[in-house]
């Protein structure tokens, strides 16, 4: 019988790719760790690791076992948490991950309404990139995520778009283009660009590159950053310009002005979606509330635009 302790030991070795580093991480000697992994392999009847002089490689069977071991531990931790919550009179919990662009305009309203409808539910909130969220959903470390489309297909992953928005141009307030109400992408071909890294948010990264290509140029990327707040700070500091979700522009950023894009290659789409692996009454409720709040945001945005143009 394989124990939870052995699952944790295997995960450590697989992640560290080294028995020595895994033993240090687990605060144990290396020989008993090696023996524990061999015992798992004997129990399963298949090799999980390929041992080398310095680097340990995981086999195909080991990859499958790693995924299932993570899921088993996550489910066990959730069972413990649910039991403790039940003892305190709390019977529901939702593990939510979200991209940082939702924090200003969408997430507060969603959470307020959700708490009104489910006052006994306990939240576990984690800001994460789209790529990080997909891994957390796969490993059963999250129940539902707010991600940016498009995303790569993933077995069992359910996707529901809930906000179709656009990106706007972020400029330093002293930039010559800041005096214009609208700017074309072609105006930006010689500018230094700040971008979100492709491996953290492939959807947004690809959308910007494609829009620039349609406008006839490739952006000169001088810096990448994974946080919207960081990109905003770099724009304010004059490091470069950036395309950012209109959602983020709701928050006033000192030293930064936001301008609408016009002309070839615009608008640049920014689509938010809800993602989950296992449906539940709580995920269903969250999807409904998120869609309602997104619709309210769009109505307010349209009213604001009409007021500016009136």
pLDDT digits (tens, 9 = 90+) for 93-122: 899 999 998 988 899 999 999 988 888 788
**4-75 and 94-310, same CATH topology:** no
Mutual angle of helices 30-44 and 19-26, in 10-degree steps: 110
Is residue 178's pLDDT more than 90? Answer: yes
Q: What is the pLDDT of residue 310?
A: 40
Q: Cβ atoms within 10 A of the Cβ of 198, count?
A: 14
Averaged confidence pLDDT in the chain: 89
Residue 200: pLDDT band (50, 70, 90) is confident
Q: What is the pLDDT of residue 79?
A: 79
pLDDT digits (tens, 9 = 90+) for 234-280: 999 999 999 999 888 877 789 999 999 999 888 999 999 999 998 88
Domain boundaries, the chain: 4-75, 94-310
Residue 293: pLDDT band (50, 70, 90) is very high
Q: What is the pLDDT of residue 304?
A: 52
Q: Cβ atoms within 10 A of the Cβ of 122, count?
A: 16
For the segment 184-188, the average pLDDT, to the nearest whole number, is 95
Q: What is the pLDDT of residue 45?
A: 92
For the segment 133-159, the average pLDDT, to the nearest whole number, is 92
Is residue 106 a contact partner of residue 247, using CB atoms and an 8 Å limit? yes
The pTM score is 0.70
Q: Which residues contact 192 (CB under 8 A, 6 or more apart)?
A: 220, 222, 223, 239, 240, 241
Domain 4-75 adopts which CATH fold? Arc Repressor Mutant, subunit A (1.10.10)
Is residue 83 a contact partner of residue 75, using CB atoms and an 8 Å limit? no
205-214, 279-288, 294-303: which has the minimum mean pLDDT? 294-303
- Identify the CATH number of the domain defined by range 94-310: 3.40.190.290
Task: List the one residue out of 215, 145, 227 whose CA is nearest residue 185.
Answer: 215
Is residue 56's pLDDT more than 80? Answer: no
The region that residue 192 occupies, defined by phi over 0 for left and psi between -120 and 50 for alpha, beta otherwise, is beta
Is residue 286's pLDDT more than 90? Answer: yes
Residue 281: pLDDT band (50, 70, 90) is confident
pLDDT digits (tens, 9 = 90+) for 201-217: 888 899 999 999 999 99
């Amino acid at each position: 019988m394989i124990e939870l302790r052995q699952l944790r030991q295997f995960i450590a070795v697989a992640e560290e790719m080294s028995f020595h580093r895994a033993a240090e991480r687990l605060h144990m000697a290396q020989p008993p760790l090696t023996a524990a992994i061999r015992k798992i392999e004997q129990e399963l009847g298949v090799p999980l690791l390929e041992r080398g002089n310095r680097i340990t490689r995981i086999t195909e069977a080991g990859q499958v076992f790693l995924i299932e071991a993570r899921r088993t531990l996550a489910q066990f931790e959730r069972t413990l948490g649910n039991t403790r919550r039940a003892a305190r009179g709390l019977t529901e919990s939702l593990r939510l991950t979200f991209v940082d662009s939702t924090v200003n305009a969408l997430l507060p309203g969603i959470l307020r309404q959700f708490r009104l409808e489910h006052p006994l539910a306990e939240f576990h909130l984690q800001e994460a990139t789209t790529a990080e969220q997909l891994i957390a959903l796969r490993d059963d470390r999250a129940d539902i995520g707010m991600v940016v489309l498009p995303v790569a297909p993933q077995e069992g992953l359910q996707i529901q778009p809930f906000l179709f928005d656009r990106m706007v141009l972020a400029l330093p307030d002293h930039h010559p283009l800041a005096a214009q109400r609208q700017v074309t992408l072609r105006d930006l071909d010689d500018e230094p660009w700040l971008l979100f890294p492709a491996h953290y948010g492939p959807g947004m990264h690809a959308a910007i590159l494609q829009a620039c290509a349609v406008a006839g140029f490739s952006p000169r990327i001088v810096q990448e950053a994974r946080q919207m707040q960081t990109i905003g700070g770099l724009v304010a500091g004059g490091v470069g310009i950036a395309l950012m979700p209109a959602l983020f522009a709701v928050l006033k950023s000192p030293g930064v002005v936001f301008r609408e894009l016009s002309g070839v290659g615009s608008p640049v789409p920014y689509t938010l979606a809800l993602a989950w692996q296992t449906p539940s009454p709580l995920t269903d409720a969250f999807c409904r509330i998120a869609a309602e709040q997104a619709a309210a945001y769009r109505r307010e945005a349209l009213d604001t635009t009409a007021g500016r143009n009136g």
